[in-house]
Amino acid sequence: MRLANYQTDGFYDEMFDESGIPRPRADALAKRLTALSDGELVRRQKAADLTLLNMGITFAVYGHEAGTEKVWPFDIVPRIVDGTEFDTIQRGLRQRIFALNLFIDDVYNEQRILKDGIVPFELVFSASCYLEQCVGLKPPGGVWCHVVGTDLVRDGDGKFYVLEDNLRCPSGVSYVIENREVMKRTFPQIFGGLRIQPVEDYPERLLETLQHVAPPNTQSPNVVVLTPGIYNSAYFEHSFLAQQMGVELVEGSDLVISDGYVCMRTTRGLQRVDVIYRRIDDTFLDPKCFRPDSTLGVPGLMEVYRKGRVTLANAPGTGVADDKAIYAYVPRIIKYYLGEDPILNNVPTHICSEQDDLQYVLRNLSKLVIKPTNESGGYGIVIGPRATAEELAKCADQIRANPRNYIAQPMLALSRVPTIVDDHLEGRHVDLRPYMLYGKDIFVLPGGLTRVALRKGSLIVNSSQGGGSKDTWVLA
Amino acid sequence: MLSRVADSVFWLSRYVERAENVARFLDVNMHMTLDLGDSVSQQWEPLVATTGDNEVFAERHGRANRDSVWQFLTFDHKNPNSIVSCLYSARENARTIRGSLPSEVWEELNKFYLFVRGADVPNALENTTQFLGEVKRYSQLLVGIMESLMSRNEAWHFSRMGRNLERADKTSRILDVKYFILLPTTSEVGTPLDVIQWSALLKSASALEMYRRVRGRIAPEHVVGFLMLDRDFPRSVRYCLSRAEESLRAVTGSSEGTYQLKAEKLLGRLRSDFEFTQSSDIIQAGLHEFIDHFQLCLNEVDAAIFNSFFATQPVANGGEQSQSSSTAE
């Protein structure tokens, strides 16, 4: 197929440089694509779509009819990351997660960083994910965020920036593994001779991590995955990870507190549970401790947890550190705990709760991207340059009414990757979410979820809003 | 294993087996009507009776004819026992326990469901044999995959229990069709029509060839004996009860001839009844009456299994079964 007509349109393209020459890391792939006969790529794409349908790789979209499953949108042209570049990403992420974990532990215990005036008390206590029920908790090994998925983007300058830390229940890693599987099934030729780092050992690593953080002195810990159930948008992932690890996938109603321990109801009576990889939100975990109306959790769970008789991964309360206003302080947090400069940069961020920033944001609304501090999934974002005057006015009112709820960032020119549109390739914007596991030490999966905004010009990559994904190749 | 998972794997297998049996009913009926011409166009009514869903049918379709019965039993989402509904339920059960099943089981079941849901209805009605053949093939493929990939753990035993109880139920219903329509006047006994009808019964259980090897010629008493009491034929009621009981005991760990749970007692007693019954006893008791009684016993077994393994918490509605057993009275 011909790649000659492909346009980078002035954006950083992951495959081609500004003069249209394949970047060294993508050279072999570009040659293979060029060698394909007309229509072959589209045929492979269709085969991949069918494979995804048959494998039942789906996600549920909220706001649609209950139980609506959509097939995971997948584009077969992979995104390639150079090995050396990924090494830097890995080091940066390790540093960041290590510091953020110290921060969480500090916030709920000594509060040194607050007392030293590095991060304002007010900002921490007003974070919607700060949980005072977690004050004084000491999780095994001091690890709070066992599973992390950090969103990175590459800006027009070719550098990676951290867009968001996801320290609660990041999802998507199952798609990293399944995307690779689908590529291997439907497009094996494309791999030939390239040294791509494997991602398939993630479930093994996850199990190792979860077993490692079991309560002390637990012989062969019993690990389970706790899901809200089949109508959750990430249900596929919950079942996938449980299956791949060979552990039980439980719902809240399968668990019960008995004699001071968490047990699951089995056909042979109650069986003790030591580690819960929970994929339900903090406040739903235990109706006796958090939201009394939660039917997804286990009454009394937090009491058992506090006594150290069960491990929750991730620990409750970690959301305080991925609050979007706290985000702006991460470089200072890293410096404070580690005495190091951050290896990965933050996107410059204006915190609307700070007077100077607020005035700047309100004056420059049409140039900025405005984000609510307590939403995820791309909801509630206003992209200034693309908003109508009316939308901007409404946004300004909302910011004035509750400045703590908003941050603003400059508009980024997200990098693009060639993506199949009808019968040819066009550039589409992408981000990158690598996955980390924090148990004995910090492991960064060499790969990640590349989410792609399938609509022309769109910057919103979330699958709930018209995003798709690509296999991500980190070269050895 | 988790009670909820046991429940789902049990029902997953039951629903797949049920879908296969509905396909068998339809397939054999299609053939019979072709053989017999217009004189037995009322042949479609008993098929609905066989599935035990007469009332739902009457409500939704009124009169029974080829098209309405076909529609009702294959693609009718409102009929909980139609092929598409069975597969929907099987898939939903599989989805909740995807983590406990080999990926291939999920993948083939998913394809099975997508195949039926996406079927071109007029085309399927034109090429019934092909469509129903695919349904049977998928079902058997699933059984084969489970057979060759699953460890003989509790999940496998619950699955086998579900499949065999469902199959025992459906085989007995196939015979019951005879009560609803096929009973010929005494003068018709032994006529070609009679032979065709009894053969059709055997065929719908894929039992004709195996029957021939054991019994040779078609005789009603022998057909009843073969489908109900044969020790070796894998779709006979007795065989299914024995396998279900084996799996039940494998789960509980009880040795042969003993029991700890009510479910074991009931199923063991039912199985031994079949071991000590002859086909002449059945004919004497009346085929329909015998089958009726058998289904009552089977319902009790179902309820006992539910109470022993799946009902892990008091259910608000008084412990009623959460999933639908066949809807026979």
- Whether residue B22 lies inside any domain: the answer is yes
Q: How far is B311 from chain A (nearest CA, A)?
A: 10
Please judge whether A249 and B98 are an interchain contact, meaning their C-beta atoms are less than 8 angstroms apart: yes
Domain boundary residue among B150, B169, B203?
A: B150
What is the number of domains present in chain A? 1
Tens of pLDDT along B3-22? 889 999 999 999 999 999 99
Q: Do B114 and A239 touch (CB under 8 A)?
A: no
- Top pLDDT among B285 and A224 is at A224
* Cβ of residue A223 closer than 8 Å to a chain B Cβ: no
Q: Clarify whether residues B80 and B170 are in a common domain.
A: no
In a domain, A406, yes or no: yes
Q: Assess if residue A424 is contained within a domain.
A: no
Q: Which residue of A has its CA nearest to B312?
A: A265
CA distance B5 to chain A (A): 9
Residues B226 and B111 in one domain: no
The answer, yes or no, to whether ipTM is higher than 0.90 is no
Residues B162 and B310 in one domain: yes
Number of folded domains that form chain B: 2
Q: Which structural domain, as residue segments, surrounds residue B217?
A: 157-314
**Searching chain B, which residue's CA lies closest to the CA of residue A255?**
B2
Inter-chain touch B107–A266, beta carbons under 8 Å: no
Torsion angle of the four alpha carbons B96, B99, B103, B105, in this order, in degrees rounded to the nearest 10: -50
Q: Chain A window 247-286: which residues touch B at a Cβ cutoff of 8 Å?
A: 247-251, 253-254, 264-267
Task: Please indicate, yes or no, whether residues B76 and B137 belong to a single structural domain of this protein.
Answer: yes
| Residues B28-80 pLDDT 10s | 777 777 766 655 556 787 788 777 788 888 888 888 888 888 889 999 988 99
Same domain assignment for residues B47 and B92? yes
| Binary contact (A230, B114; C-beta < 8 A) | no
Question: Are both B112 and B211 inside the same structural domain?
Answer: no
Whether A380 is covered by a domain: the verdict is yes
- B51 is a domain residue: yes
Instruction: Closest CB to A239: pick one of B2, B98, B114.
Output: B98
Residue A268 within a domain: no
**How near does any CA of chain B get to the CA of A230, in Å?**
6
Specify if A283 maps to a domain.
no
Clarify whether residues B162 and B309 are in a common domain. yes
Q: What tokens appear for A443 in the block? A: 């492991």
B53 contact partners, CB below 8 Å, separation of at least 6: B72, B79, B80, B81, B327
pLDDT in tens, chain A (476 residues): 778 789 999 999 999 999 899 999 999 999 999 998 889 999 999 999 999 888 888 776 665 454 567 787 899 999 999 999 999 999 999 999 999 999 999 999 999 999 999 999 988 998 888 999 999 999 999 999 999 999 999 999 999 999 999 999 999 999 999 999 999 888 888 887 788 999 999 999 999 999 999 999 898 999 999 999 988 888 889 999 999 998 999 999 999 999 999 999 988 889 999 999 999 999 999 999 999 998 899 999 999 999 999 999 999 999 999 888 899 999 999 999 999 999 999 999 999 988 999 999 999 999 999 998 876 666 788 989 989 999 999 999 999 999 988 999 999 999 999 999 988 999 999 999 999 999 999 999 999 999 999 999 888 887 777 789 999 999 98
Q: Which residues of A touch B4 (CB under 8 A)?
A: 251, 253-254, 265
Same domain, B175 and B303: yes
A194 in a domain, yes or no? Answer: no
Distance from CA of A223 to the nearest CA of B (A): 13
In a mutagenesis test of the B interface, which of A232, A267, A298 is the best target, namely the one with the most B β-carbons within 10 Å?
A267
B136 and B163 co-located in one domain: no
The answer to whether residue B327 is domain-embedded is no
Q: Which stretch of DSSP H or E encloses residue A240?
A: helix A235-245
Alpha-carbon torsion, ordered A361, A364, A368, A373, to 10 deg: 20
- Same domain as B188, residue B126: no
- Chain A residues within 8 A of B5 when measuring between CB atoms: 248
Contact B2 A250 (CB under 8 A): yes
| Same-domain check for residues B115 and B83 | yes
- Report CB contact under 8 Å: B251, A267: yes
CB contact (8 A) between residue A239 and residue B95? yes
Domain of residue A382, residue span: 350-411
Residue B328 lies in a domain: no
Q: Do B4 and A251 touch (CB under 8 A)?
A: yes
Residues 40-99 of A with CB under 8 A from B: 53-56
- Asked, for residue A39, whether it belongs to a domain, the answer is no
For residue A242, give the chain B residue with the closest CA.
B99
Q: Indicate whether B161 and B308 sit together in one domain.
A: yes
Give pTM, 2 decimals.
0.84
Q: H/E element holding A435?
A: strand A435-438
The answer to whether position B26 is within a domain reads yes
Residue A263 resides in a domain: no
Cα distance between residue B106 and residue B136, in whole Å? 17
CA nearest B95 in A: which residue?
A: A230
Minimum CA–CA partner of A54 in chain B: B111
- Within 8 A of B111 by CB-CB distance, chain A residues are 54
Final residue of a structural domain among B150, B184, B219 = B150
> Is A251 within 8 Å of B107 when comparing Cβ atoms?
no
Residue B195 domain-assigned (yes or no): yes
Residue A361: CATH number of its domain: 3.30.1490.270
Minimal-distance CA residue of chain A relative to B111? A54
A vs B: CB pairs below 8 A: 66
Q: Is A242 on the interface with B (CB under 8 A)?
A: yes
Query: Is residue B322 one of the residues assigned to a domain?
Result: no
Q: What is the pLDDT of residue B184?
A: 47
Look at residues B116, B150, B184 and tell me which one is the last residue of a structural domain: B150
- Residue numbers in B near A54 (CB within 8 A): 107, 110-111, 114
